[in-house]
Amino acid sequence: MLDRYLLPLVRTTLDAPARALIARDVKADQVTLAGFGLGLLAAVALAFGAFGAALLLILANRIADGLDGIMARMTRPTDRGAFLDIALDFVFYALVPLGFALAAPATNALPAAALIASFVGTGSSFLAFASIAAKSGRTADAYPAKGIYYLGGLTEGTETIALFVAMCLWPAAFPALAWIFAALCAMTTLTRWHQGWQTFQQTDP
């Protein structure tokens, strides 16, 4: 819901660091992989209850996720890079609740499972819409720089990262936050199903 408003600020903020990395011959795919490595470390930190360290690693992962796209557009965007970026992003989103579940299985396992399941709903509807939209040459006017069709919704990247930050700051509130966000993700999934049904019905013979 908020991505379209935040993305221009992110691009402006990360423009100079992206240019500096390119000048040092760092590749966008290298930043993508490094960012995913930081995300893995965040999950490990969460599992051991190091919530402050996990928060810093999550934020570093998101900075890398912003940098790689900017660097790609400054050089040469590739389908491989776009694929790698989105594929690793969805794994990262699942790793964070998994880390909380490992930290306190008795209280966190069930809400973490519900949250991961809700992420499957938002992620699968997002990617299914993008794959069908690509066949008809559709583009998302609100997200022209994205490598694939970017279908918005109630819970997007900005809201998800805000959730992860809140969970790290108040880990005892993880169950409540996870249940609430899982419900919001379910609403996002339903609206995307409806949008896909309506949109592609118009293109069917």
pLDDT of 114 > 80? The answer is yes
**Non-local CB neighbours of 139 within 8 Å, separated by 6+ positions:** 149
| Average confidence (pLDDT) over 136-142 | 60
Which sign does the torsion angle of CA 166, 1, 187, 90 carry?
A: negative
pLDDT digits (tens, 9 = 90+) for 38-58: 999 999 999 999 999 999 999
pLDDT digits (tens, 9 = 90+) for 16-26: 999 999 999 99
pTM metric for this prediction: 0.86
Count how many Cα atoms sit within 13 Å of the Cα of residue 130 in the half-sphere of its side chain.
Answer: 17
| Average confidence (pLDDT) over 139-150 | 53
Domain 3-201 has CATH 1.10.10.10: no
Report yes or no: 102 and 47 within 8 Å, Cβ to Cβ: yes
Lowest mean pLDDT among 74-88, 113-127, 148-162: 148-162
Average pLDDT of the chain is: 88
**For residue 46, how many other CB atoms are within 10 A of its CB?**
30
Distance CA 158, CA 119 (A): 14
Can you give the residue ranges of every domain in the chain?
3-201
